[in-house]
Amino acid sequence: MDAKTQKYDRQLRLWGGNGQEALESAHILLVNASPVGCEVLKNLILPGIGQFTIVDAGTVALHDVGSNFFFDLESVGKSRAEKACEFLSELNEDAKGHWIKNDISTLLKEKPDFLDQFTIVMVSEVTQELATKIAKICWDHGKTTQAKKQISFVWVRTVGLIGAARIVTPEHTIVETHPDSVADLRIDSPFPELDAYWRTFDFDTQDNLEFGHIPYVAILLKFMDQWKKEHNGQTPSTYAEKNQLKALIRSGMRSADDENFEEALSSVLRSCQATVVPSSIKDLFSDPEVENLTAESIDFWVLVKALKEFVADTSKSAGLLPLSGTIPDMKAQTDSYVKLQSIYKAKAKQDAQVVAEITGRVLEKIGRPKNSIAFVDIEAFCKFSAFLKVVRHRSLESEYVEPKTEQIALHLADPDSVFVQYVLLRASDAFYGDHGRYPGENESWEEDVEHLQGNVATLLESWGVDKEAVSPERVHEICRYGMGAIHNIASLMGGVVSQEIIKVITRQYVPMNNTVLFDGAASVTGVFEL
């Protein structure tokens, strides 16, 4: 095992070589070397992100030293961008760090396409106005270029014990969502090879050893077949019918503790569920991206289109998704298990080959070479086809211009919801608009409570929500925090946001949609689609 594999062993077990490769090709921008921003970078540099760039015009102050591990007392007065880059670079020689001592607004004026080079643009310690501006550049970039060149935007901040992060990725498609199990056994609708398989077991003449090792899949298939014969080809649907099937299986046991029969019995309910195309996948079939496929479309949508045609060709697919080809462990002799496994695998391969043929035709139709998607990728796509996922975040602009007032009212109706912190952060932004500073920053912090209360009321009114929805105690509390940075909260949010960024970059697991809030007083989080 090479040194790099050894170093990354504990994470490769999560996202594998392809995830690691994606991470190593990514470049993240951090605007402002805030405590939380540097914590996010730390958690991305350690697992080996390709490059990072820090843009910050400021110099290190004492309060930075007390809240950010990547400054020390000797850093005071030096460039925040340079110093943070230096200390962060020490974490991993594989990650390349860059720093620019400049203000992002000035930088964007000088170089309007500055952001184009990044996979992720993350901002913190910025005003709402600046965040919105940068978010829009990223959003428009994704709309005007090929979708594969999207820039994901992240805004993360902490105020006292509160943390918040917003992610904007216009469209995020995932094949490897990492479901708990991808087993797809087709007990209700066995394909011919599977049907032939269970018939090779003679339930009457086998000796006890062999009988005790008949794979439960064969047991289920046999008794399901019998049940169907007795019920006009129907599978059990009601609870009573499923119990009848169980009783039938039980009647076939030789002793009360045949483990393989126990396994079969405990799988009856799941196996009676008809194998169908999940509604979430049907929704993808009718997605505009599939309807309007072009040469610029990403592979994901090309494959969804092929999948749709595969399902439509019932002579080949029986109207079902391609088989995953994975089976769980079960009590069985080695030979019969390996045989069963190879039957499922062969069928999965066969399905994937059909999908590959269709994919070739689809590619040609949109003017791409017919082999331009590798077969291994098609195979993986088929294997996880029941769990494909598309996450589309709303733009930051629409969050402000077209607020989802109904949902907001619902969140605020729940007195325990962490959503109230969103209102307070938004009101604080409005306060900044009025005063050019954030509430509670000064010694006379309690004087800000009333002003902020006014900002809260205005905001709630604009949503048509009850003005009392946010208690005065809570307004007082955020003034108490006074925009102070507390390292624990920065570190926690740094962990949360870096997990999300890893999910976005690797295209594995499912990122949140679209705002996460953390209240460090109550130790709770909440995710809200705003």
Subset of residues 116 to 145 that bind another protein, contact rule: CB under 8 A: none
**Are residues 495 and 470 in contact, defined by beta-carbon separation less than 8 angstroms?**
no
First to last CA, the chain: 46
**Are residues 394 and 530 in contact, defined by beta-carbon separation less than 8 angstroms?**
yes
Site for another protein in 388-417 (CB under 8 A): none
Q: Which is nearer to another protein, 161 or 320 (CB)?
A: 161
Residue of the chain from 97, 360, 494, 507 that contacts another protein (CB under 8 A): 494
For the CB of residue 163, give the shortest distance to another protein in the complex, in Å: 10
**H helical segments located in 57-202:** 62-67, 80-89, 104-110, 128-144, 192-198
Q: Which is nearer to another protein, 309 or 500 (CB)?
A: 500
Is 38 a binding residue for another protein by CB under 8 A? The answer is no
**Are residues 176 and 511 in contact, defined by beta-carbon separation less than 8 angstroms?**
no
Q: Characterize the bridge pairing of strands 162-168 and 172-174.
A: unpaired
**Are residues 139 and 168 in contact, defined by beta-carbon separation less than 8 angstroms?**
yes
Residue with tokens 């009101």: 427
Is 460 a binding residue for another protein by CB under 8 A? The answer is no
Is 512 a binding residue for another protein by CB under 8 A? The answer is yes
Of 52-60, 286-294, 429-437, 506-514, which segment contacts another protein by CB under 8 A? 506-514
Residue of the chain from 59, 333, 350, 353 that contacts another protein (CB under 8 A): 333
Amino acid 91 reads: L
Q: Which is nearer to another protein, 114 or 422 (CB)?
A: 422
3-state SS string for 77-103: CCEHHHHHHHHHHCCCCCCEEEEECCC
Is 491 a binding residue for another protein by CB under 8 A? The answer is yes
The mark string for 421-440 relative to another protein (x by CB under 8 A, - otherwise) is: -------------------x
Of 23-31, 41-49, 399-407, 424-432, which segment contacts another protein by CB under 8 A? 41-49
Residue of the chain from 91, 147, 269, 293 that contacts another protein (CB under 8 A): 91
For the CB of residue 196, give the shortest distance to another protein in the complex, in Å: 20
Is 324 a binding residue for another protein by CB under 8 A? The answer is no
Report the candidate in 171, 203, 197 with the shortest Cα–Cα distance to residue 185. Answer: 197
Is 322 a binding residue for another protein by CB under 8 A? The answer is no
Of 122-130, 136-144, 207-215, 378-386, which segment contacts another protein by CB under 8 A? 207-215
Is 452 a binding residue for another protein by CB under 8 A? The answer is no
Amino acid 77 reads: G
Site for another protein in 92-111 (CB under 8 A): 92-93
Of 62-70, 97-105, 266-274, 350-358, which segment contacts another protein by CB under 8 A? 62-70
Site for another protein in 213-252 (CB under 8 A): 213
Q: Which is nearer to another protein, 348 or 496 (CB)?
A: 496
Q: Characterize the bridge pairing of strands 120-123 and 96-100.
A: unpaired
Q: Which residues of 228-252 are buried (b: 16+ CB within 10 A; e: fewer)?
A: eeeeeeebbeeeeebeebbebbeeb
Residue of the chain from 46, 183, 293, 457 that contacts another protein (CB under 8 A): 46
- In angstroms, the Cα distances linking 412 to 467, 517, 525 are 11, 14, 15
Residue of the chain from 151, 332, 362, 430 that contacts another protein (CB under 8 A): 332
Separation between Cα atoms, residue 60 and residue 84, nearest integer Å: 9
For the CB of residue 527, give the shortest distance to another protein in the complex, in Å: 5
Residue of the chain from 208, 266, 372, 462 that contacts another protein (CB under 8 A): 208
Geometric angle at alpha carbon 503, from 498 and 508, rounded to 5°: 155
